[in-house]
Amino acid sequence: MTIEAVYGSLIKNAHQPDHDLYDKYYSLVTDHIQKHLSELEADDHPEVLPLNYCDRISYIKANPYKYHSIVQLNLIYTEFVKKHASYCVRRNKK
């Protein structure tokens, strides 16, 4: 199941989410980000991480299974994908 499919299933019942599905979604998003960060130099991490990434992850960890945490995870994932793609394009142009 893709990250997007898990999100779609999770958001349908976001006001009373399935905790196992939420945990799976959280793991998929954070594992995806960590996988791509491990391929980059540490100095390049700020270029691909979403704005206020650490603060947002802290909020999500402090408020698991909440609607806003689900939405915030999706936003982090979407922003990361876009910033990582932009970074890769810029890096290949050099």
Alpha-carbon separation of residue 70 from 41, 59, 74, 92, 93 (angstroms):
29, 11, 6, 33, 35
Q: What is the pLDDT of residue 84?
A: 96
Rounded to whole angstroms, the Cα distance separating 27 from 22 reads 9
Collapsed DSSP state (helix, strand, coil) of residue 27: helix
Q: Calculate helix-pair angle for 67-93, 3-12, nearest 10 degrees.
A: 160
Mean pLDDT, range 58-72, rounded to an integer: 96
Q: Model's pTM, two decimal places?
A: 0.91
Domain boundaries, given as residue ranges, for the chain = 3-93
